[in-house]
């Protein structure tokens, strides 16, 4: 019964990286356009794109991004990539997805960052038109980039805010480049009215999350290491800080040692604001159906708990109030139909 509920329910994905979520079939199309040779055997290509279940570390996990990033070097390829992701999301009844990527990793003289962002928005818009998947685009600053580089995202985010872009993010080497080094970026984002989330507590300890909170983050990407700091969990619960959990990825990158070490139930019991997401659909060979199924297998979810998780995603999303109402209404309609069928 729970599996049927998970399969059929409308879903919301708040933490999904574009470059980590491109299907092998689409990678073949993109690679051919930019002259990248790929292995003929589908298994070999999948091995290049998908991290193993027994992935040794975040470093090994990140090697699976090399080919997608190499393919994402033209406006046409960004458009196709975004459209492919919308199609994939629609296939499991995702009704809203926040897609994130780092435009400055692909921008160059012949491909300005503005064109990169616009191409992704156009692809997601076409995906919304074709498949009905509403979206928000999050622009990632990189921890290893200097402020002078990351600050280029501010006018870009401001230009498209409300027209596709919904927020900024900070991603990259969490241990090597503390978030506090980017305090000016987020101070300026606040002044400009640009919302943001920050990756923290995935590859570093609770201090990384405290640092993100000090910068004004209202959402935390992953945040697994909060489990090691009771005071931090209490603080985040009291403040309603949204945690973007990505269970399959979190286990692959060793953010948690195993399912027994995974803090999903702990966070819920502490009253924290928890959401369930994919992170990288292709790199982790996952989707939201799998994420909820894995959680149910380990923690025995009830339909009421699943409903709460989905509605929490709507509540802490960067969507505007009208869209949040639409997302909740879609779940209301599903719930009524599901309960009617049950009776």
> What are the catalytic residues?
202
Under a CB-based contact definition with an 8 Å cutoff, are residues 99 and 124 in contact?
Answer: yes
Give the torsion sign (CA, 306, 311, 315, 318). Answer: positive
Tokens 């503390």, located at residue = 178
Tokens 């101070």, located at residue = 187
Tokens encoding 342: 């049950």
User: CA torsion angle for 42, 44, 45, 48 (degrees, to 10)?
Assistant: 160
Label residue 181 left, alpha or beta by phi (over 0 means left) and psi (-120 to 50 means alpha). Answer: alpha
Upper half-sphere CA count for residue 340 (Cβ side, 13 Å): 6
Under a CB-based contact definition with an 8 Å cutoff, are residues 282 and 26 in contact?
Answer: no
Could you tell me how many residues make up the chain?
A: 343
Residue 284 DSSP class: T
Under a CB-based contact definition with an 8 Å cutoff, are residues 211 and 179 in contact?
Answer: yes
Cα distance between residue 126 and residue 136, in whole Å? 13
Tokens 């919304």, located at residue = 128
Cα distance between residue 174 and residue 196, in whole Å? 17
Cα distance between residue 253 and residue 202, in whole Å? 8
Instruction: Tell me the C-alpha to C-alpha distance, in Å, between residue 230 and each of 20, 233, 263.
Output: 32, 5, 12
């Amino acid at each position: 019964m729970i599996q049927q509920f998970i399969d059929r329910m409308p879903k919301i994905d708040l933490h999904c990286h574009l470059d980590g979520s491109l299907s092998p079939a689409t990678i073949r199309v993109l690679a051919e356009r930019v002259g990248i040779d790929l292995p003929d055997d589908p298994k070999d290509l999948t091995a290049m794109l998908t991290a193993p279940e027994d992935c040794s570390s975040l470093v090994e996990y990140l090697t699976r991004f090399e080919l997608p990033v190499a393919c994402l070097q033209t406006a046409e390829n960004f458009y196709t990539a975004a459209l492919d992701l919308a199609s994939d999301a629609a296939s499991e009844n995702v009704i809203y997805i926040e897609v994130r990527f780092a435009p400055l990793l692909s921008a160059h003289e012949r491909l300005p960052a503005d064109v990169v962002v616009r191409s992704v928005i156009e692809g997601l818009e076409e995906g919304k038109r074709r498949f009905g998947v509403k979206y928000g685009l999050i622009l990632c600053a990189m921890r290893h980039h200097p402020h002078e580089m990351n600050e280029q995202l501010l006018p870009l985010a401001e230009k498209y805010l409300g027209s596709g872009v919904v927020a900024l993010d900070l991603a990259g080497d969490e241990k090597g480049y503390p978030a506090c080094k980017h305090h000016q970026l987020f101070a300026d984002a606040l002044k400009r009215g640009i919302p943001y989330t920050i990756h923290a507590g995935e590859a570093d300890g609770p201090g990384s999350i405290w640092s993100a909170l000090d910068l004004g983050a209202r959402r935390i990407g992953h945040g697994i290491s909060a489990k090691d700091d009771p005071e931090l969990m209490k603080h985040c619960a009291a403040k309603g800080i949204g945690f973007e959990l990505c269970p399959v990825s979190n286990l692959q990158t060793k953010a948690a040692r195993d399912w027994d070490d995974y803090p999903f139930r702990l966070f819920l019991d502490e009253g924290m604001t928890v959401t369930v997401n994919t992170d990288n659909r292709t790199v982790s060979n996952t989707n939201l159906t799998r994420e909820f199924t894995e959680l149910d297998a380990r923690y025995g979810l009830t339909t009421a708990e699943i409903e709460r998780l989905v509605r929490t995603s709507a509540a802490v999303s960067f969507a505007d109030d009208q869209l949040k109402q639409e997302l909740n209404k879609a779940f209301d309609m599903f719930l009524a139909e599901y309960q009617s069928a049950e009776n």
